[in-house]
Chains A and B, each alone.
Chain A
């Protein structure tokens, strides 16, 4: 890896938003390929950060700052990127299922999936099944639908949502991933989801794996 990109990566990991912009500019000026800066520098950095988060080496605040640093870097890089370079891995629809109003955890998941190179459509909380299906019809290139439920009482809603999607005519064109405090791998298997992750960082890894499995 070129030292300029190495620098970008290190700064994203450290969460130094202010310096990342300059470092990205320096890398561009030095003639680095823009998509390499994005993927080897920033996306790679976020996967490292996610890994540290999963291992409890860093906290939410550090992960947030790293994501923001990446965002700053992408802003600077944007004019140099070919159209469609960001979000190149595809679209992800994310929602907290109906009757459940929990938001923050799901937002972190959205952030990490976006940092991994996806375009994320966040439908918010208490999202009825029809709204998810409508969103898919408008964005048929969507690869993954990610759903969260934060309470044992809304796990049945998660089941219902996944079951409805399992019956949809586009089921073979999407992957479904689920998460949330009471959700387990066993529950995910039982309701017919394609994947489960325990935290935001794992969700990003899972999304990449699912997107690659078509």
Chain B
């Protein structure tokens, strides 16, 4: 079936667009002028025609996806040979601009002809009692040889002047071959090219139309729109800014996994690494690497807010209020992951109320490094606004309105150096690289509206309320540690103590009132459940205690006794310790054969999904604990004391809370010699902030701690590497 009288509308803008030249381009007018000089002549040289034929895919070009016998229709069209000579002439003269424009004009014509022959194709299909369910691309979907088959099926007599090269390309060069899949639906005509399904990602004509995502979320179904080249993660985060990227969307942590219930989302390389074949087949994808080809229905996990351990367990080494102040104060622990605040009566130090929330900055990444990167790539103000808003909301929750509402006089914030910088709007440029120099780590006292901006008023704070940011020690050992050391009495004790706050950054301090050595070590997010297959934060339902029997069965406890949802850092340490005790894990960290492939099943969620501990999880834990253990060892060596001279080990932070020190020692997270000295202090940063408000000379005491503190750069210690490697194994 021959097509004659084919016509194409050749708009100037369409042609220029092929050279990436749009109306906004500075060269637009000049190029347009050039185009108009040649357009009429070039158009006169176009002799468009084509032909089509029905067929079935023969064996030689059939693929797994499009098997032999698949019913198809071939279309070959051309704009003739005369234009090729015309293009060539300009190139030979060295006029590349006109040559390229003529070439673009010919291409545009070839593509635009589709609108003309598309109608004929549809008519012919209707006559034949079929429709078209899609378009196949050469050479992406079918091999180049398809062009030969198409040429032969249609017949050379229908295509006068068209020849085939040995490489299955056509003369004239400006010819094109299309293949369409036939369907039984006579009213279905999916003729157009779908850029979403096209595999040629670098094509400069790629234009993606939006698709709809139906998201099952917290028992509801909501429909949102995915635009352009957005990943599913990007879309979810655009609509729900709290949806967080633990690994900074690198496709490794698995926290953003979604299950595609309907629609096409091809698995990424990362998916293939992360999921088993069975999981892939049931639609599991990492949303940060998932690009929808069609409308989709999917289920996404949104982390529940819940922070039962955040403010609990704080052993009150702070002592009674001594400042004899009047009025009220608010103490805040400004953590990277979570925020905790307490309202205090200053006269007696009693806690009247507590509020906790997530740090919504975590949608920029879970750890301080990714926040620093975000800040340095233009997100500084956004990060600042977000933490201000979070703090404002937290304060408002502590200060309900009404006649006799409480008006606090002072707010004290303890946070790590990065969080301090982000709140103050300081540049993090020098924090992300050597020499890791902070802008300001001194104590900062200002009016609420200077520090919290417009959020201060919204939170109901009077304009004269003072806000104090506690001072830190270095870029990586911040005010949260200074506050913790105050809370643990480092400024008064003569005996040497060890302070540990283990999170993504393991921070540690060793010393007494005369001399304190501090260090921070990049432990990775394992202790906070990050990069762990079924890991989660310290939320209700997180597995935090594990006992394993000789037969391999596990008994678990979860935070708040809720049905299990995942493993938190404490649970991870305990599970490893138990597997080790029962011989299911060897000292090199290898899981027993029976668990090596699929992982160790720890528990089942309410809806029957298995919570698994994988070999990779164990490796993550080994890296994390080795970093901590090596850090402690070096601090002790440098300090020049023996293990038995250390009086106390204070374990601070959410991770340590509820952990059995014996199990931590069993996996070598803590040196065995320190086992009997461990005291779990909970949220020491919050406690220190409280002391600052209620103890009379707390500011002087914090200064004393800072004065005797010296930072050790662990990575620069020659023995660090050896200690680190030694500590990797599970030997006591």
Q: Using CB atoms and an 8 Å cutoff, list the residues of chain A in contact with chain B.
A: 15, 59-62, 64-65, 67-68, 71, 98-101, 103-104, 107-108, 111, 122, 125-126, 151-154, 157
Contact = CB atoms under 8 A, between A and B. Distances in A.
Contacts of B145: 153
Chain B, interface size category, equals 20 to 34
B36 to A, nearest CB: 15
A167 B100 CA distance: 36
Residue from A99, A104, A108 with most neighbouring chain B CB atoms (10 Å): A104
B27 A65 contact: yes
Interface stretch (B68-76, B89-97, B119-127): B89-97
A65 B31 contact: yes
Given A61-B20, A64-B19, A111-B96, A151 B27 contact: no
A93 to B, nearest CB: 16
B10 interface: no
Contacts, number: 71
A153 B147 CA distance: 12
21 contacts: A59-B19, A59-B21, A60-B19, A61-B19, A61-B20, A61-B21, A62-B25, A62-B27, A64-B96, A64-B100, A65-B31, A71-B94, A100-B167, A101-B169, A104-B103, A107-B96, A107-B100, A122-B91, A151-B144, A153-B139, A154-B167
B165 A126 contact: yes
Given A15-B27, A68-B96, A99-B167, 9 more contacts: A59-B20, A59-B25, A60-B19, A64-B97, A71-B94, A99-B166, A101-B165, A108-B96, A153-B143
Interface SS, B side: loop
Nearest to B166: A99
B376 to A, nearest CB: 20
Interface in B18-75: 19-21, 25-27, 30-31
A151 B138 CA distance: 10
Interface in B149-173: 165-171, 173
A98 B166 contact: yes
Contact of B91 (A61, A68, A107): A107
B80 interface: no
A108 B96 CA distance: 8
B27 A152 contact: no
Contacts of A111: 96
A107 B99 contact: yes
A103 B83 CA distance: 14
B167 A151 contact: yes
A126 B169 CA distance: 10
A59 B19 CA distance: 7
A101 B171 contact: yes
Contact of A65 (B97, B168, B169): B97
A100 B169 contact: yes
A111 B103 CA distance: 15
B81 to A, nearest CB: 12
Contacts of A152: 139
A142 B597 CA distance: 59
Nearest to A114: B94
A125 B171 CA distance: 11
A68 B171 CA distance: 29
A64 B100 CA distance: 9
A104 B143 CA distance: 22
Nearest to B104: A104
A196 B143 CA distance: 25
A54 B165 CA distance: 33
A23 B57 CA distance: 61
A122 B173 CA distance: 17
A192 B170 CA distance: 30
Interface string B315-357: 0000000000000000000000000000000000000000000
A130 B173 CA distance: 22
Nearest 9 CB-CB pairs, A to B?
A99-B167, A59-B20, A61-B21, A61-B19, A153-B144, A101-B169, A99-B166, A68-B97, A111-B96
A67 B170 CA distance: 30
Contacts of B95: 68
Interface string B95-120: 11101100100000000000000000
A153 B27 contact: no
A61 B100 CA distance: 9
B30 A65 contact: yes
Given A65-B31, A103-B173, A157 B167 contact: yes
A99 B165 CA distance: 6
A67 B31 CA distance: 13
B621 to A, nearest CB: 37
Residue from A59, A61, A104, A153 with most neighbouring chain B CB atoms (10 Å): A61
B104 to A, nearest CB: 9
A65 B21 CA distance: 11
A213 B26 CA distance: 39
A111 B173 CA distance: 21
Contacts of A15: 27, 30
